[in-house]
Amino acid sequence: MFSQSVRLLELRSSRATVAKRFFGSGLRLLQEQAVKPVASEPSVFRRAGKALLKVSLYSGLLGTGYLSYQLYKEKHPAPQTPQSATFVNGSPRKTLVILGTGWGSISLLKNLDTSLYNVIVVSPRNYFLFTPLLPSTPVGTIELKSIVEPVRSIARRVPGEVHYYEAEALDIDPENKTVKIKSVNKEHEYQLDLKFDYLVNGVGAQPTTFGIPGVFENASFLKEISDAQEIRMKIMTSVEKAASLPPTDPERERLLSFVVVGGGPTGVEFAAELRDYVDQDLSKWMPGLSSEIKVTLVEALPNILNMFDKSLVDYAEQLFKQDRIDLRIKTMVKNVTKTTITAKCGDENEDIPYSVLVWATGNAPREVSKNLMQKLEVQDSRRGLLIDDKLQLLGAQGSIFAVGDCTFYPGLFPTAQVAHQEGEYLASVFKKLYKIDQLKWQAAQKNDADDSKIQNRISKIQAQIVPFKYHHMGALAYIGSDKAIADLAVGDSMYRSAGSFTFLFWKSAYLAMCMSFRNRVLVAMDWAKVYFLGRDSSV
């Protein structure tokens, strides 16, 4: 009995010890928790910053990967179908000759299934020139190499093999379906008569002087790379010559006077780029001389940029006044000498001195187009080759087509946008013509030209060749001081904007329009270089 009582006391004592230890540890834990501060959750801004950082990182990685993939594809094109006299089924493979490497011709080449034809490209210029950015090149905003794409690179990335001749088209014979070409390489001169089944004339236009004396001899045009190089040389040479003369010398004033004739996008954008170069770069290195430079824009019409809405035109003209660009509207050039232009404004004539004159207005047909007009009686227009609503040359329907600036058709203007859409349209037309030619060959093989089934199929395909319809996407123009104007067509509505944000849109649109990713990268790098390092002022 005594021993049981002792065991009971020991048991109670052990339980009390365990309870004391348990509650003691719990108390210490509560004390520690009370002393230790509670960690607060990250703020909303911190979480948003982390999320934005992750999105930026992933976007950068995806963008880099996509860019690398596209550049790799351009540098490693797929194998091409070789040219041949016949297809696998024995039908003849027709020859398509494309003249020129401008917007219309290159757009056709890029969108055409070249495995359906023996395609031959003829042009004295072995590259495609991105003309919308050409006004930026004389002052160094964009490097010339950044806006050219070799024809052979473009031709190598299409399905079928393309032959290219660095030559000039001299004459087209619509009856015998031949085109005479002459090489531009003087060390390796040759002349060839190329046979064609279909021909696309996309030789473009040449500048016109409107018969004004002295323009051709003294002005610089802005159509080709050589023009931009010539203008740059003249500008830099004039600046250096003026720097060696005292400020009171009249010759110094003339050397620092630059005149642009033409109020279209080319003339306006070049005048704006030139003023930017003077204000943003030359003013840092030659502050005294740069303040004396005068930029004058001459336009015969009542306003510049007549393809834009009046509100945008007014905005551009007001900005020109702020940027000290002397705008002369309703002013017609009558005569040009080596040092002055004579212009008529109203009833008065004025002599405007200059050192560099850039002529950025007017187009005229090239010699090969003029020769072709003389062979076809219906070609009676001086403005260009007359075409129908399917871009076929009047008088040579069925075998000769024409696109771009060498043509004239009511409602179609000589712009890159029009030529680009014409090229895309012709690519779809030639795909249908191939199907028609194949059906005709099948009928000939059956010795049954009146096969009703084949004729019905041909008729259906011919009905699918609808007239060309131009879809105006709008117009863009850079007007200086990192500002641009945009007149955009979205469906049936027009959206207009101007200012710095529009300038960013202008840049984005032109990057998207570049022919290759290589060009996009180079142009973007040029813009970045100018932003951080400025323009190069050397010759």
Residue scoring higher pLDDT (76 or 448): 76
Rounded to an integer, the average pLDDT of 377-395 is: 93
pLDDT at 48: 82
The per-residue pLDDT for range 292-343, each reduced to its tens digit, is 999 999 999 999 999 999 999 999 999 999 999 999 999 999 999 999 999 9
Q: Where are the chain's structural domains?
A: 95-207+364-458, 220-361+473-533
pLDDT at 43: 76
Judged by phi (left if over 0) then psi (alpha if -120 to 50, else beta), residue 499 lies in: left
d(CA 470, CA 390): 11
Q: Give 22's pLDDT tier (boundaries 50, 70, 90).
A: very low
pLDDT at 30 > cutoff 70: no
Could you tell me where the beta strands, DSSP code E, fall in 174-279?
178-183, 191-195, 198-201, 205-207, 220-221, 257-261
Q: Give 190's pLDDT tier (boundaries 50, 70, 90).
A: very high
The per-residue pLDDT for range 74-89, each reduced to its tens digit, is 788 889 999 999 999 9
| 220-361+473-533 and 95-207+364-458 share a CATH fold | yes
Tell me if 258 sits within 8 A of 265, measured CB to CB: no
Give the dihedral sign, CA 315/316/321/326.
negative
Q: What is the mean pLDDT of the chain?
A: 90
pLDDT at 66: 77
Considering the domain 220-361+473-533 in this protein, what is its CATH number? 3.50.50.100
d(CA 79, CA 404): 31
Q: Two tokens at 391?
A: 């871009």
pLDDT at 136 > cutoff 60: yes
DSSP secondary structure letters along 380-438: --SSSEEB-TTSBBTTSTTTEEE-GGGEEBTTB-SSHHHHHHHHHHHHHHHHHHHHHHH
Residue scoring higher pLDDT (430 or 51): 430
The per-residue pLDDT for range 143-160, each reduced to its tens digit, is 999 999 999 999 999 999
Share of the chain above pLDDT 90, in %: 77
Residue scoring higher pLDDT (223 or 63): 223
- The residues near 120 (Cβ < 8 Å, ≥ 6 apart) are 95, 96, 97, 98, 162, 163, 164, 165, 194, 196
d(CA 358, CA 218): 9
> Which residues pair with residue 372 across a beta bridge?
none
pLDDT at 9: 45
Rounded to an integer, the average pLDDT of 239-264 is: 95
Rounded to an integer, the average pLDDT of 369-376 is: 94
Q: How far is CA 402 from CA 13, 102, 343, in A?
A: 112, 12, 36
Q: Out of 3.40.50.1100, 3.90.1580.10, 1.10.10.10, 3.50.50.100, select the CATH number for domain 95-207+364-458.
A: 3.50.50.100
Could you tell me where the beta strands, DSSP code E, fall in 481-524?
483-490, 493-499
pLDDT at 266: 96
- The residues near 426 (Cβ < 8 Å, ≥ 6 apart) are 108, 112, 200, 391, 401, 403
Q: Give 10's pLDDT tier (boundaries 50, 70, 90).
A: low
pLDDT at 3 > cutoff 80: no
Residue scoring higher pLDDT (258 or 11): 258
Q: Which of 194-203, 213-222, 357-366, 451-460 has the lowest mean pLDDT?
A: 451-460
pLDDT at 6: 42
Query: Which residue bears the tokens 């824009």?
Result: 297
